[in-house]
Structure 1
Amino acid sequence: MACVRTIQRSGSRFYIDPEDPAIKRPGVTSIISMLPKPFLAFWNAKMVAELAVDSLSFIKEMRATAGRDAAVDYLKGAARRYTKVRADIGSDAHDMFERMIRGERVGHVHPDLEPYRAHFGEFLERVNPELVRAEDVAWSVTHDYAGSFDAILRIWLDDEGNVTPNRSGTPHLVVADWKTSKSTYADVALQMSAYAQADFIIDPDGNREPMPEFDGAVVLHITPDQWALMPVQIDRAVFDVFLNLRRVFTWDREISKGVIGRALARSTGALVTGTQRRA
């Protein structure tokens, strides 16, 4: 994706228009991050608590040698460090998946990636999808967003919706996403609907073509223990929720910055009595 560059601003990703660098469209996942996630506070607290209990002697030693602030910073970073490790594995796995689905032979990999390699290989054998595109950018001028999708596939299904790996069923064009997280979450539907409803695709050479009409969407969830290919709802009702989040994104990044104006009047400071002045 050398043609479409991205930048980070205030924790959000923006895609730079290769034809006009002044145009920067927010990324799909940054828009979806506007969803409230109250469970993250409890998860973060749990990670810190578990680290403190499991590493009590180490924490005491750190406080004694490096100081209280260092120990506090170490505990505060528990969730961040875990997320980074998982993100690194996910990035490496996505790179491997793209190589495999493009037909490249992937030999020896790091032991942490081996279960993902084996499961993705089984997926290719059991489903036998046809790769239409991979890792291109979905671009929406109409609704002002962009995002990189994992793949567009053609899969074959029988009348009951079961995969026919010999391609004897009816072909279905689907937008696909690979997930290596512990669970598959509902917001993947928002992500996939945004890709499917974009105006066009930009490939690594900068070529643009209209986004095709899809028969549906699928998410391939792969963990070290198993894999599953699941259909994802991407109809208008789901896309409308994404568009609401797009408006919230504008509120959060732009409108909210200027809704409170300059003070019309303010206090002049604490009252100083005559007794205080004489003292």
Structure 2
Amino acid sequence: MGRVRTIQRSGSRFYIHPDKPEIKHPGVTSIIGMLPKPFLTFWYAKMTAELAVDSLHFVAQMAERDRAGAIDYLKGAARRYTKIRADVGSAAHDLFERMIRGEAVGHVHPDLEPYRAHFADFLKAVNPRLERAEDVAWSDAHGYAGSFDAVITVWLDDEGRPTPDRSGTPHLLIVDWKTSKDTYADVALQMAAYAHAELVIAPDGTALPMPDFDGAAVLHITPDQWALKPVRIDVEVFDFFLTLRRVFTWDREVSKTVIGRAIAKSAGALITGTQRRAK
């Protein structure tokens, strides 16, 4: 197989089949985006309100010169914050991949140093063996694809705790690195989707059957701490992901076909002869 490419369409990521470009599967995270997030309304409002209060004098001066600009500045508060966090997360993920591959990492940006230190501590405390990183999970059976962070082997004792000397029982885990403020339940949907895909495709296009995993875990790293947490990826969780996959098809395809053109409608306002002659 060839290399998997991606495109953005209507705000969603699609993965293009390496040999059949007419086949385009939506990405796992785009599918999970079908989950309702009512809390975001309040978060957007909070971010805007905090910026307005913290920059009251500046915003007032801006509004005197450019009212529309001041409004745009305030309403973009959440978007700018999200982009900053996404940029930090992307840089941290790149750093984590290089470190788990054994690359010697020297000086990093001060914003990334806490993440580097915590990931180094994780590598020492758990001593995982990297099996794969940043490959694509591909499912033709259910029509989705997505890039996962890593597959690792860890050695656990009888109580499920890591044995860094690798004296415990080996477990094959699919893992995800998270640098968000907290870990959220939808990570289970994400990882179940990856684990239940039929194929794993490497950057060079090599495709192999997805291995059978002993479990999954999320490594949550913040500037203050790190924690490795087990994640459920069983059939029940996967079935919920498949429900969202159907919702994605409804939202992006079927919903656009269910309402037809009007077969009857009002005639509109009467236009008199005087009005026509006045035009």
1:185 maps to what in 2? 184
Q: Distance in 1 between matches of 2:199 and 2:192?
A: 14
1:250-277 Cα distance to aligned partner (Å, 9 max, x none): 0000000110001010000125699999
What letter corresponds to residue 27 of structure 1 in structure 2? G
Instruction: Write the deviation string for residues 36-88 of structure 1: whole angstroms up to 9, x where unpaired.
Output: 000000000000000000000010111122x1110000001000000000000
Match of 1:103 in 2: 102
Deviation for aligned residue 1:4: 1.2
1:93 matches 2:92: yes
Q: Which residue pairs with 2:195 in the alignment?
A: 196
Which residue does the alignment assign to 1:56?
Answer: 56
State yes or no: 1:37 paired with 2:74.
no
Partner of 2:119: 120
Which residue of 2 is the match for residue 268 of structure 1? 267
Deviations 1:93-131 (A, max 9, x none): 000000000000000000000000000000000000010
Whole-Å Cα distance in 1 between the matches of residues 211 and 273 of structure 2? 80
> Secondary structure at 2:53's aligned position in 1?
helix
Q: Deviations over 1:161-213 (max 9, x none)?
A: 11111111111001000000000000000000000000011101101000000
| Aligned equivalents of 2:56, 2:22: Cα separation in 1 | 52
Question: Corresponding residue for 1:15?
Answer: 15
The reply to whether residue 156 of structure 1 matches residue 155 of structure 2 is yes
AA matched with 1:243: L
Partner Cα distance (1:244, 1:207) in 2? 30
Name 1:251's counterpart in structure 2. Answer: 250
| Aligned amino acid, residue 73 of structure 2 | Y
Whole-angstrom CA distance in 2 between matches of 1:236 and 1:59 = 52
How far apart, CA to CA, are the structure 2 residues paired with 1:72 and 1:239?
Answer: 42
Q: How many residues align?
A: 276
Q: CA RMSD, aligned part only?
A: 1.6
1:196-246 CA deviation, whole Å, 9 max, x = no partner?
Answer: 000011101101000000000000000000000000001111000000000
Q: Secondary structure at the match of 1:59?
A: helix
Q: Secondary structure at the match of 2:152?
A: strand
Same amino acid, percent of matched pairs = 75
SS of the counterpart of 2:145? Answer: strand
AA aligned opposite 2:43:
W
2:209 counterpart residue number: 210
> 3-state DSSP class of the match of 1:146?
strand
Please, what TM-score do these two structures have when normalized by structure 1? 0.96
1:237 aligns with 2:236: yes
Q: Which amino acid aligns with 1:267?
A: S
Task: State yes or no: 1:174 paired with 2:173.
Answer: yes
Which residue of structure 2 lines up, in the alignment, with residue 129 of structure 1?
128
Structure 2: runs of 5+ lacking an equivalent: none
Q: Which amino acid in structure 2 is aligned with residue 161 of structure 1?
A: G
Aligned to 1:81: 80
Distance in 1, matches of 2:109 and 2:272, equals 75
> Structure 1 stretches of 5 or more lacking a match?
none
The 1-side partners of 2:165 and 2:126 are apart by 9
- Tell me, what secondary structure is at the counterpart of 1:51? helix
Structure 1 CA distance, aligned partners of 2:109 and 2:3?
30
* Distance in 2 of aligned mates of 1:68 and 1:272: 40
